[in-house]
Structures are given as structure tokens and as C-alpha cells.
Chains A and B, each alone.
Chain A
């Protein structure tokens, strides 16, 4: 008697030679065994053609982010320098304005360090400000790329 379990083993290839012959003979000569074999073979094929599901695209990064602090910790450059750069920005801004004002002050007033606001070149100041912002953005991008290389 060829059981369902025997047919599964036949499909798995885990039977010995004589058992394989016995099952093969039953499939060839017994219609009910052949029908059962066809059904199980179809299920086996479906199961064998299964594919793996995929987690979300962010999965790998999420895992890496969660374990990163456990690796030997080196503070990311961006985190350690950005606050410094941001806090230095107002100081740089004031320094720029004062420098421009001093440079444009009247030459005969140089000893008094009197600041003549009429001589401030607004266009020049604007360019310096834009340059400062662009420089900050550039530094941030550079730090980002450096951090990604480390990861």
C-alpha cells in the first residue's frame, strides 16, 4: 500500500532504491495512486516555486541605525561640527558687517575708528552673505559624504 507520506518521500527523493521502484510501479499501475501523485506533485511544484517576501526598502538602514551605537563609537563628524558652525554663524555675520564698515570708513577718520554707515556697500555685503551660506552648505555636503563613506 502506497501512502501519501510515501509519495511525499518519493518526491523528496529520500527513499531507497527498492522503495522508489515500489512507488513508481504503483503510480504506473494504480489510477488512485497516480491521481494522488499528480496532486502532491502539483503542490510540491507550487511550494518549490515560492519566492521570499521583501521588507521595506529602508529595512537595512533601519537595522544599521539601530546597531550603530553598539559598534565602537566614533561621533559622526556632522554631529560634532555642525553645532559649532551654526553657533559661529551669527558671530561671522557680525564680523563681516563690521569689517566691511571699517574698510569703507573714511580715511581721515581712521584713528577714531568711527564707523561711517553711509559707505557700506550693500551689494558687496549681500555677496559676502550669500557666499557664507553657500560655504556652509558646501561644508555640510562634504561632511555628509564623509559620514556616508564611514557607514
Chain B
């Protein structure tokens, strides 16, 4: 099987005006960028807008990408910042998501069927919903760690924090997620 073209090569080709290279880069990262955005903004339409904005920003600023970090870390940082900017427009108090006052709304979103269905794919769907209910930072840490398989150093770069702080953040995020999953009978 042919190995995929490395990001660095694609970036160089894009900078030389190769549209097909940019298309390859978009296809490579669009699912993860969209998933990350969805878990922060919580709505598909907005997540798609965020992901589209992200790729436009990536293209516009590609020449300023110095390659000091991995391209994926740079891209995820843009996703994170763009998604945060987006939710400020319609979600005035982000921290309230972790408040127990939102438990009713959470139960609504997760649905009651969760208590009866044990199928893996169904559970995965609800775990995904539970992650969306975490704070943007926690949702990002979990998504990057499990879906993108980023290291603690890379996650720290995305969130602009120290690696140790990223590790603490991951533990905290998993603890909160566990609490939410217990409340809804997912574990």
C-alpha cells in the first residue's frame, strides 16, 4: 500500500499553488477537525461552519506556519480557538455546562433510551454526547488524546498550557466524564 504523502510535502506543494494538495490536506483532517468543533460547539451546523473557517484560516496563514510543531497541533489549535470564538456568540456561560443545574437539559439531550440499550455503537454515540457536555477544554483534551492520539506535549501546545497541566487536565476531564456517565448509567 502506498504511504500517504507527509504533511510537510503537501504544505510545500500548496505554497507553490497546488490546489489538489490542499484538497488532500482538507480530506485528511476534516473529520477530526469537525469532531473537535462539534464537541465544543455542540451543533452540527455550527461545527461545520467552524471547520470550514478553520481550513480557510489554515490556507490564509500557511506561509506563516514555521513547522516548529506538528502541522496537526497547529491545525487543532486553530480549531480550538475558532470554536471557542463561535460559542461565545450563543453560549454566554460556558462554565455552566459543568453545573448540575444543567442536568435536566443533559438528560433531555442524551435521551432516556440510554438506560436500556447496551449496544456498543449506541453507547459510543452517547459517550460522544457526554463529551460534548464537558467544558471546551476538557472535551478537547479527551478528543485529542483518544481520537487523534496526540501526546501530552502536543495537547499542551494546542491548549497553550504546560505538559504537566495538560496531564492534570486529562485526569480531571476523565473524572468529570465518569461522573456524567455514571449519572446516565453508561458504566
- By a beta-carbon cutoff of 8 Å, the part of chain A in contact with chain B is 4-5, 8, 39-40, 42-43, 46-56, 59-60, 62-64, 66-68, 70-72, 151
Which residues of A have CB within 8 Å of B186? 46
Contacts from B to A (Cβ < 8 Å): 17, 19, 22-23, 26-27, 30-32, 34-35, 38, 44, 47-48, 51-52, 55-56, 59-60, 120, 123-124, 127-128, 142, 146-147, 171, 174-175, 177-178, 181, 186-187
Q: Which of A42, A50, A51, A53 contacts B187 (CB 8 A)?
A: A42
Mostly, the A contact residues are helix
B124–A49 CB distance below 8 A: yes
Name the residue on A nearest B31 (C-beta). A52
B56 partner, pick from A42, A53, A60, A63, beta carbons under 8 A:
A63
Q: Residue on A with the closest CB to B53? A: A66
- Bound CA span A64–B19, Å: 8
Given contacts A43-B177, A67-B56, whether A52 and B19 have CB atoms under 8 Å apart is no
Q: Which residues of A contact B30 (CB under 8 A)?
A: 55, 59-60, 63
Give the docked Cα–Cα distance between A30 and B171 (Å).
22
Per CB-CB distance, the 7 closest pairs between chain A and chain B, nearest first, are: A52-B31, A55-B34, A52-B35, A53-B35, A47-B146, A67-B59, A63-B55
18 A-B contacts, Cβ less than 8 Å apart?
A8-B174, A40-B178, A43-B181, A47-B174, A48-B146, A50-B124, A55-B31, A55-B51, A59-B48, A59-B52, A60-B27, A63-B26, A63-B56, A66-B52, A67-B55, A68-B19, A71-B19, A151-B19
